[in-house]
Structure 1
Amino acid sequence: MEDYKSYIGGEWKAAKSGADFEVRNPFDNSLLCKVADCNAEDLKEAIDHASKAHASWKKSTPRERSALLRKIGDLMMRDQDKLAKVLTLENGKPLGEAKGEVGFGATFFHWFAEESRRAYGETIPSPAPGVSFTTVQEPLGVAAMITPWNFPIGMPARKISAALAAGCSCVVKPAEDTPLSTLELMKLIEEAGAPTGLVNIVPCSRNSVKEVGDAMCADPRVAVISFTGSTEVGKYLYAKCADTVKRVALELGGNAPFIIFDSADVDAAVSGLITSKFRNTGQTCVTANRILIQAGIYDRILDNILPKIKAMKIGNGMESGVEQGPLINERQQARVKRIVDESLNAGAKLVLGGKVLDNGFEPTVLTDVQRGMACWEEEIFGPVLSIMKFTEESEAVDHANDCDRGLAAFFYSKDPGQIHRVSSALESGMVGANHVGISMPESPFGGYKTSGIGKEGSKHGLAEYSNIKLVVQNFN
């Protein structure tokens, strides 16, 4: 695979320092390529170009923005297989999942191609005769984006498409483990005819992350920072943006409860749980983390789910039929192992799995889980089911809400009254009732509590990159 440069001001450039960093395949740790290791000086140049591009892009018509976004989405679908292979090589997820992620990313360009033409203002009934009150939406300015490794093309696509639709320019720092998918996406943005400097990609190594992130927060020309990642890093960025009073959009960590009530359809609940828990080897922010199963259906659920987990094919995501790929790196592997070991030492029961693999972690089931255990309190980000038995509905809701994070929550029930009560009671920005597919371009994605600020996708995603201006006109 060829080495990659940054993309700044319409040119592919080496880092000003001449440094680069390695990107490795998480399955076998083989070297894929080297990538330009940018620093604050490179970032400043990118912001220079983005500022100039914004000056003209903000004057573009919705139709012009729509045409560019539509073309980018179309090019992503044209190159879906190629992009999926790059994604699997650097991230490890099964090729079918990677292909799905590319399609997912394309839907955001297609969605915001249409939504850019619906950035409506409003007419407000006037409190005074002869005076009109109207509002218009205007682009914020330069949007800086820090994207995660678990969806290395889906998340940049979701952010970039919304920002461009609103009339903003972009400076993107992809995750150091998985920068290649974003750089491949940039090739398509360039091919689609994006104006010079409109989108800039500034990759960097782990050693340079803090320098680049701090520079993004400090530069007054950056109007908004959009970050997807851990709650801890999100809090840090939030504080760093205070001096320049930037808009922040933070999609942070989750610790999703997954409740199965006695009234649930067993087959549907098991299918939903496996899909939610084991997609991307459990490395998603909305994955089912804390599993609550009502006593009357508990044994049936376990009897149904354990054979399906045992049958999962583990291996190289590039191989046909593989359902569980590697964890992203050794740090994540060690973290999952620690969480499992600490939970077992605290009294959890190991029913299945629990072993470290050469390149990941065995799908694992823990039962007899209690509050306070590591597997219950921490976001695992790995293929571990942490199961607690409960008796009453109120007990399940109490357990589910006993968490400082509220990104997503799921439950299965066929009781209409229960569906209404539980949906209302769960303290989460997104609730899936008998359904786990909650992330679509049409729907607002975002959480409560320390799971973040703002929404991505839907009309609300466009608003994250827009200012509302009030115009009051006197006709007297």
Structure 2
Amino acid sequence: MLFLQQLNVHAQNEGTSTGTKWISSQGEELSSYSPVDGKLIGSVRTTDKVGYEAVVQAAQGAFAEWRKWPAPRRGEVVRQIGEVLREKKQPLGELVSYEMGKSLQEGLGEVQEMIDICDFAVGLSRQLHGLTMHSERPGHRMYEQWHPLGIVGIISAFNFPVAVWSWNTMLAWVCGDVCIWKPSEKTPLCSIACQNIITEVFARNGVPEGVCGLVNGGRELGEWMSADARIPLVSATGSTRMGKAVGAAVGSRLGRSILELGGNNAIIISKDADLDMALIGALFGAVGTAGQRCTTTRRLIIHKDVYEQFTGKLVKAYGQLRIGNPLDQHNHVGPLIDKDAVTSYLAAIEKCKAEGGKFIVEGGALEGDGFESGCYVKPCVAEASNSFQIVQHETFAPILYLMKYDTIEEALSYQNGVPQGLSSAIMTLNLREAEQFLSAAGSDCGIANVNIGTSGAEIGGAFGGEKETGGGRESGSDAWKAYMRRQTNTINYSNSLPLAQGIKFDL
């Protein structure tokens, strides 16, 4: 495949790197099969304990030097990475689409996110600011500054195999940190491609070996990173179950964690909504990436006065969806990541029916020509209660639950009445409803949108959620502070030593 050649990804690859050097490992072979057609793309050699130690030790050594580089100089390296990503956007987007299964447009969009965060980080490299405070003591100056933490461990998920890594890495690098990345074992070849891109830039800039480590493997690697006191910050994206394990392990050693976990996102559709606009937002939110985004729309809370009208539009739109090879840009929906995901999808449908759900768009697995991988399913829609156990649970698949409401207060109670708190939206032209939704008594999610869907966040805003979503923030705004340590400094330039709070300690 041409895109593999352009990214220097081979049939067999080492999966462990300290930056520009690949390390031979005695780990197992990890094969990557495309959910698009079931074919073997390639394999990587997983990281064993010896390889892991080599990566961590290289990172420790690199940090001692990297943190001394001026932040704008580190930003220049990131700028060059962004330029190479522009050159490699098409082949990398194709690899993301083929290995993960999302549409090519979404694969290209993911690489564009990487480019965007590079641009953001370059600007940030000249804006890592602290505050100056007035001291109560005469002849004193007080201020705060931010210093890098050290090694940042990044555990990423299959659904965004490259973008979320870049959110963390580019910010961490300009902050002066070094990184170790453990990608999902379901999309290892995307990590190889990214490491090759980084290697090219690092080599020509004399970046210390160890600034960008890569380890490939399964759960055990994540456990090593979470328990490793040499890694002060672990940023983990994945299920709530996984995040609780990471958070407990990191917390037990008083480390820091950024947790981006499950979502159970809803759109409230008001009687005052533009229904055509609401349809677009709901449809992409529910079926984009085949329902495998943490921001996927899983619930529609629809006002009773427009319920029949809107569901009619929705059913018609679902009937027009084209399911198939995501590299074919005529298709809207690609496959789930693997057959286990299909099994979970089918089980969720049965649970919904058992609890009393009524499907107005039927689901099911797809077979036959074009669906040989066994990973394709039908996006489906069910009328359900917010109290159903399956509705309270995040199923990583294109299943959309509908429910009616009467008052905005009732809608908000449904919106907030789930364990997760990532993304939310309301479709309304009623200013009072919109403001109530955004108020402290409104949505309890980390992301709350008006007249756009739950999916498709921009990198300029901090990304993350509350409750069982983990509470972490990545990407824009002041999320960079999570990758640094705060230091308060007081300088006495007087010829005496007065104490704070007026305390006297004279001899």
Q: Normalising by structure 1, what TM-score?
A: 0.96
Q: Which of 308, 323, 334 is 1:314 aligned to?
A: 323
Report if the CA contact (8 A) 1:281-1:383 is conserved: yes
Q: Which of 212, 221, 236 is 1:199 aligned to?
A: 212
Counterpart for residue 313 of structure 2: 304
Counterpart for residue 93 of structure 2: 84
Counterpart for residue 420 of structure 1: 435
> Alignment length, in residue pairs?
471
Report if the CA contact (8 A) 1:258-1:288 is conserved: yes
Q: Which of 25, 28, 33 is 2:42 aligned to?
A: 33
Q: Which range is displaced more, 168-177 or 270-279?
A: 270-279
Give secondary structure in 2 for the equivalent of 1:233. Answer: helix
Counterpart for residue 498 of structure 2: none
Instruction: Please give the alpha-carbon distance, in whole angstroms, between the structure 1 residues aligned to 2:197 and 2:448.
Output: 34
Match of 2:312, as an amino acid?
D
Counterpart for residue 466 of structure 2: 448
| Shift, 1:134, TM fit | 0.8
In structure 2, stretches of 5+ residues that fail to align are: 1-9, 367-373, 495-507
Pairs within 5 Å for 1:72-471:
72-193=81-202, 194-204=207-217, 206=218, 209=219, 211-357=220-366, 358-367=374-383, 369-424=384-439, 425-436=442-453, 439-471=457-489
Report if the CA contact (8 A) 1:315-1:326 is conserved: yes
Query: What CA deviation, in whole Å up to 9, does each residue of 1:425-476 have, x standing for no partner?
Result: 1111110111135521210101111211321112422111011111111112
Give secondary structure in 1 for the equivalent of 2:102. Answer: coil
| Shift, 1:158, TM fit | 0.8
Instruction: Please give the alpha-carbon distance, in whole angstroms, between the structure 2 residues aligned to 1:430 and 1:438.
Output: 11
Query: What is the identity percentage for the equivalent residue pairs of Structure 1 and Structure 2?
Result: 26
Instruction: Please give the alpha-carbon distance, in whole angstroms, between the structure 1 residues aligned to 2:81 and 2:128.
Output: 20
Report if the CA contact (8 A) 1:165-1:462 is conserved: no
Instruction: Please give the alpha-carbon distance, in whole angstroms, between the structure 1 residues aligned to 2:390 and 2:274.
Output: 26
Match of 1:16, as an amino acid?
S
Report if the CA contact (8 A) 2:153-2:180 is conserved: yes
Instruction: Please give the alpha-carbon distance, in whole angstroms, between the structure 2 residues aligned to 1:438 and 1:128.
Output: 50
Query: What CA deviation, in whole Å up to 9, does each residue of 1:326-360 have, x standing for no partner?
Result: 00011111111111111112111111131112322
Instruction: Please give the alpha-carbon distance, in whole angstroms, between the structure 2 residues aligned to 1:214 and 1:288.
Output: 31
Instruction: Please give the alpha-carbon distance, in whole angstroms, between the structure 2 residues aligned to 1:360 and 1:149.
Output: 17
Q: Which range is displaced more, 212-221 or 339-348?
A: 212-221
Instruction: Please give the alpha-carbon distance, in whole angstroms, between the structure 2 residues aligned to 1:192 and 1:342.
Output: 50
Report if the CA contact (8 A) 1:333-1:361 is conserved: yes
Give secondary structure in 1 for the equivalent of 2:424. Answer: strand
Compare CA radii of gyration and give the structure with the larger one: 2
Query: What CA deviation, in whole Å up to 9, does each residue of 1:74-101 have, x standing for no partner?
Result: 1111111110111112101111111111
Q: Normalising by structure 2, what TM-score?
A: 0.90
Match of 1:201, as an amino acid?
L
Instruction: Please give the alpha-carbon distance, in whole angstroms, between the structure 2 residues aligned to 1:390 and 1:459.
Output: 34
| Shift, 1:150, TM fit | 0.1
Report if the CA contact (8 A) 2:291-2:396 is conserved: yes
Give secondary structure in 2 for the equivalent of 1:257. Answer: strand
Match of 2:450, as an amino acid?
A
Report if the CA contact (8 A) 2:154-2:181 is conserved: yes
Match of 2:231, as an amino acid?
V
Match of 1:33, as an amino acid?
G
- The question of 1:46 aligning with 2:55 is answered yes
Give secondary structure in 1 for the equivalent of 2:401. Answer: strand
| Shift, 1:179, TM fit | 1.6
Give secondary structure in 1 for the equivalent of 2:232. Answer: strand
| Shift, 1:140, TM fit | 0.5
Q: Which of 14, 19, 28 is 1:19 aligned to?
A: 28
| Shift, 1:361, TM fit | 1.5
Match of 1:430, as an amino acid?
I
Report if the CA contact (8 A) 2:155-2:235 is conserved: yes
Give secondary structure in 2 for the equivalent of 1:269. Answer: helix
Instruction: Please give the alpha-carbon distance, in whole angstroms, between the structure 1 residues aligned to 2:405 and 2:227.
Output: 48
Report if the CA contact (8 A) 1:156-1:182 is conserved: no
| Shift, 1:195, TM fit | 3.1
Instruction: Please give the alpha-carbon distance, in whole angstroms, between the structure 2 residues aligned to 1:356 and 1:2.
Output: 30
Match of 2:31, as an amino acid?
E
Give secondary structure in 1 for the equivalent of 2:463. Answer: coil
Query: What CA deviation, in whole Å up to 9, does each residue of 1:122-160 have, x standing for no partner?
Result: 101111111111111100000011000000011111111
Report if the CA contact (8 A) 2:386-2:403 is conserved: no
| Shift, 1:40, TM fit | 3.0
